[in-house]
Amino acid sequence: MNFQRGQKKEEPEINLVPMIDVLLVILIFLVITTTYSKYADLEITLPEATATEADKQSERPHTIDVTVSATGNYTVNRVPLTFSNTEGLRNELQSAAKDEKNPVIIITADAKATHQSVITVMEAARLAGYNQVTFTTETTEAKNTPK
């Protein structure tokens, strides 16, 4: 029953204020959670070597060469080790350092060596108090030269 005979019915209208509020909240959420590509890429400029081999030998500090094979075996200065725990490797690094305070640890790892075996060498160097650790790489020219 229509008790209000003389009055016209109001046309329904869309209220935009709640819709704008919801869109602003969604916009804020998207801005906060978006990752930008500048954080995904690392721009690294690698140094170039120009010194001759004789110059490198005279300036090089005391180094300890640690080799990690594909099977996880270690050698320190070309002496094979019979264990692979961190404490034993730390003791070998300390004995190879002799009286040097902070030698450079050079890690040469096989491409198929596990990450854990390389991390073990790094942890042993940290436990021994040596903070200069570097890795060897193979250049493409050395790969392509005939033997």
The domain that holds 60 is classified in CATH as 3.30.420.270
How many CA atoms lie less than 13 Å away from 127 in the CB half-sphere?
A: 16
Mean pLDDT over 5-22 rounds to 83
The verdict on residue 126 lying in a domain is yes
The pTM of the whole model exceeds 0.75: no
**Nearest one of 56, 58, 100 to 77, comparing CA atoms:** 100
The verdict on residue 93 lying in a domain is yes
Q: Does 27 have pLDDT greater than 50? A: yes
The verdict on residue 4 lying in a domain is no
The verdict on residue 92 lying in a domain is yes
For residue 86, the one-letter residue type is: T
Buried b / exposed e over 21-50, threshold 16 CB at 10 Å, is eeeeeeeeeeeeeeeeeeeeeeeeeeeeee
Sheet (strand 104-109) strand order: 79-80, 74-76, 63-68, 104-109, 132-135
pLDDT of the residue at 4:
63
Number of domains in the chain: 1
Label the pairing between strands 104-109 and 132-135. parallel
Q: What are phi and psi of 74, to 5 degrees?
A: -115, 150
| Among 21-30, 50-59, 125-134, the least confident range | 50-59
The verdict on residue 3 lying in a domain is no
Q: Which domain holds residue 91?
A: 54-137
